[in-house]
A and B are shown apart, each in its own frame.
Chain A
Amino acid sequence: MMEARPLCKSVVLLLRRWIGWIGQAAVTLTVVPVLLFLIIVVVAVMLWQEPRLSVGVGIAVLLPTAIALMLGQKGLAEVLAISAYLFLVVGVVLLLVRHILEQHRGVKE
């Protein structure tokens, strides 16, 4: 009996630890993607509702690009220019899709 108690205790401890890990993993694996998904959905809905937001961010990022260039930070300016470009692409594509859908809706009505 005396030998069984520490064994049970260690098994319980081990199980608890495993459960902790599994729990942690489960939380990480569900909450983070859910959060990410929610963020993406929120951003997508926002952009879908107002694609000009993406264009605005793109244009706004071009301003620090100019400053980085003037300060001689070519690498930073490149990174900023790439992100500005991507924002602009997303904005233009969304605007175009919305424009097309609105046109078709208008025609149907």
Chain B
Amino acid sequence: MRTRWNSFGSASERARDIFWRYVVAHKTTFGGIALILLLSLLPLVWFKGDYLLYAGDINFPLSGTEFFHNSWHVWSANLLGRPTPMDVPNLVPYGLLAMGCDSLGFSAVAIEKIVYCLSFALCGLSMYLLTSTLVVGKRGHMIALIAAIFYMLNLNALLDLQPIPYFFYASLPLVLALFAKGIQGGRGVGYVLLMCLIWLLACTQAYTTVTFALLTWGFMLSYLCLYLITADSRQKRVRAIKFTSVAAVVWVSLNAFWILSVVLSEGDIVSAASLESAGQSWEDHFRMHSSSILDSMRLLGSWALDEGFGGDPYFPWGSMYSTAVFLAVTVLAPILAFIPLLSKRGRDRNILFFSLVALCGVFLIKGPHPPFGGLSTWFFRETYLYVPLRMVYEKIAPFVVLSYAFLIGCSVVLCYEYAKGRLAKAFLDGKFQRLTRIITGTFAATVVVILVGVYAYPLWTGRVAYPAGQVLPSAHTRIPDYYYEAAAFVNEQSEDFRILSLPMPTASACAYWWNEGADGCSAWSDPTTWLFSKPVVNSGTAGHGVAGFAASQLVEGTSANGDAAKVLALLNVKYVLVHDDMNWKVIEGHPYWPDAVSADAYETILGSENGFALERTFGELDLYRNTSWEPLHVYACRTVSLANGDAEAILSMLDSADSSVVETAFFCSEESDSAQLRFAEEPAACNGNGGFPSVSFRKSDSTKYRVDVTNATEPFFLVFSESYHPQWKAYVNSQGGDTNWIEAFFQGTIPAERHSMVNGYANAWYIDPQELGVGSEFTITLYYRPQSLFFVGCVISGLTFAGCIGYVLWDWRRKRAES
């Protein structure tokens, strides 16, 4: 027994000894990492108590679990329902991280703090790894440390500080470091798998914007090209190409879960990216988001830096960068970045590569500005690059910053070495070496402090979080309690309905004024979306015009016959939520809120309009109930009406309709083709001539509904109140079963010509039980089929993931056994 304890004790001592010896041997590396980790706590300075950072582009998800759940489905029930294949990459890593923290009981503020600190740490560590991979030598660690700190603390980080897209910026050097190490060292399959796994876990979130994935690959392939050109043997070239090919295959397989959904939903993505909807030509957009070559080189290219709203600047510290001192400091970065080219190391492959990337990046960012502005415009137009790179500064700046960080790290150390050696020798004849070292060291440290301290000072002082202005509220946000009370009231109701929020913007945005702006909210994402478990119709964005039309109809008060209530009933809207806490200084006259009127005006309108009754008031929120509403998510229609024109033609028909619009389908001649309209005239049941079917449904998730139909002896229309999309499919099961995601590929659906748009937005299927041969009782599964593609992608990714882990472990054990 004693022997065992002794051997255990000696083993532990030996392990401790080995560990400390390792730490001492790598003390510079550990020191650098410790400093980076310490700096990664800096985001804590930006927070104020339990206030969220939530403003402008910083749209932090208020519920991690909800965020994960939404990303898991390629159809969102919000608004009137919309395809969301682009949200799938959110699953990794942020979705998993947020859900994990949420289930551990962390608050949204705590999760936001964790995310910022983690992304900051990732940013510094990955740049440190990249630089120490590429620079080998005596001062390698010092170069890596300066590069890492500059990469964490610079103007681009300051201008584009959004927690979720920040993951791309943070993990970009990591990906390049692993890739460069792989092709230089001619690593094997095990390393490729490990690299792709790390890449997947660190960076996937950013690919909600596919351009970032393409740019990352473009960046790595450029590095590969340079490597192939400059490699000194054919064997090295072949190994590098093999490594890249295997990496590409593994990466595609691991990322299949989002690639499949995204590639096959290309049409939805292109229409979402359409600039025409914003009423702006691409040339205007291109000019607005690019900047002069001077500003591009100084990393001050964001259009919003000198802009503001209603007298409040978007960046309150922006004016500081127009003062003489800061003007000089901002030119310091490009000067330092190109100094390494002057040294003998200037012919080093990596220095040349990053210099070229920086110059190419600056050229892209400058867009139509001189020099060669016409060439740039022609290039962007002819290559269609203006579609993926329509916000060119946000997309390209990370590559310029990465290059600058690497080059500046090299530059500071080279200047220090030069001053310490050559200059001291020339002027002091090699005397006072200690003093020379102190002076040059102090000078180098001052340059670094100016670069990372002065250059991006709002990151240190916390001014990066917007303080309250006269018009724009503070970025520190605390949602008032009455929002939670309203959410609790709505969420406890079991029925399936929507809530219409007023005043309604035409695009996704919100502007609230809480506590005199000290904790207000002005962002692209309305927090009510996260609080209410029922879908909130809070914007009339492209494709959901009928909601905006209903809202404007309410304001105009076109008639007092309850038309607005009927239209909203067709949208399955049970409640109208009127905000009395709007930021009127922002929304008055703003093009996003053309129909906004005050809460008092809404009170008058809704009070005089038939069909609305004030249900409850929660602080500054009034909740009106739509008395025309009946559960209309999935129903069989009683009557069919054909409106000549578009969705607005429904309004004139509602005037002449009966008092109730329940179980009515309105076809619009402009939104259906002749084959679809043919069925509008056929079903006898719809016109009350035959037995009427009874319909009940169960929602599995936002992409799948099981509908049980009984007493269906005659043809009828099944209406489904989600936005029309041709990929919504209806599967008929005579045995009463359900269609699962695999069967969805093979099982027949109701033909496309029997699927049409009704009520200006919803789906409807013409069902003829006799023709289908299903009897009077059967089940219909309504399914958004792209969800199956997502699951197929998940299977491919899961199998590849398991294979990678298995191979890496097996390879590790084999090598261990061999050694």
Contacts and interface: CB of A to CB of B under 8 A. Distances in A.
Interface in B311-348: 324, 327-328, 331-332, 334-335, 338-339, 341-342, 346-347
Contact of B331 (A55, A69, A106): A69
B104 interface: no
A10 interface: no
Nearest to B344: A52
Interface in B346-362: 346-347, 349, 352, 355-356, 359, 362
Contact of B341 (A52, A70, A100, A107): A52
A78 B293 contact: yes
A98 B347 contact: yes
The 10 closest A-B pairs by CB, nearest first: A66-B331, A81-B294, A69-B327, A55-B341, A70-B324, A103-B230, A92-B355, A99-B347, A62-B335, A66-B328
Contacts of A95: 341, 346-347, 352
B494 interface: no
B331 A62 contact: yes
A47 interface: no
A56 interface: yes
Given A69-B294, A95-B352, 4 more contacts: A66-B331, A81-B293, A95-B347, A99-B352
A11 B352 CA distance: 66
B297 interface: yes
Interface stretch (A21-29, A38-46, A82-90): A82-90
A62 B334 contact: yes
Contact of B352 (A65, A69, A89, A92): A92
A15 interface: no
27 contacts: A52-B342, A55-B338, A56-B342, A58-B338, A59-B335, A63-B335, A65-B294, A65-B331, A66-B328, A70-B324, A70-B327, A70-B328, A81-B292, A85-B362, A85-B371, A86-B371, A88-B338, A91-B341, A92-B341, A93-B356, A96-B352, A98-B347, A99-B347, A99-B349, A100-B230, A102-B347, A103-B229
B370 interface: yes
B233 interface: yes
Contact of B327 (A66, A85, A102): A66
A52 B346 contact: yes
Interface of A: 52, 55-56, 58-59, 62-63, 65-66, 69-70, 77-78, 81-82, 85-86, 88-89, 91-93, 95-96, 98-100, 102-103, 106-107
A55 B294 contact: no
B interface, over-half SS: helix
Contacts of B492: none
A98 B327 CA distance: 35
A106 B230 CA distance: 10
B232 A107 contact: yes
Contact of B356 (A77, A82, A92): A92
B297 A81 contact: yes
B297 A85 contact: yes
A85 B370 CA distance: 11
B335 A82 contact: no
A95 B348 CA distance: 10
A107 B297 CA distance: 36
B339 A59 contact: yes
A23 B383 CA distance: 50
Contacts of A56: 342
A82 to B, nearest CB: 5
A47 to B, nearest CB: 13
Contacts of A59: 335, 338-339, 342
Contacts of A81: 292-294, 297
Contacts of A106: 232
Contacts of B338: 55, 58-59, 88
A44 B356 CA distance: 20
Contacts of A78: 292-294, 370
B328 A55 contact: no
Contacts of B327: 66, 69-70
The CB with the most chain A CB atoms within 10 A, among B232, B346, B370, is that of: B346
A63 B229 CA distance: 34
A26 B332 CA distance: 50
Contacts of A107: 232-233
A100 B232 CA distance: 10
A102 B328 CA distance: 38
The CB with the most chain B CB atoms within 10 A, among A59, A92, A106, A107, is that of: A92
B393 to A, nearest CB: 17
Nearest to A92: B355
A23 to B, nearest CB: 39
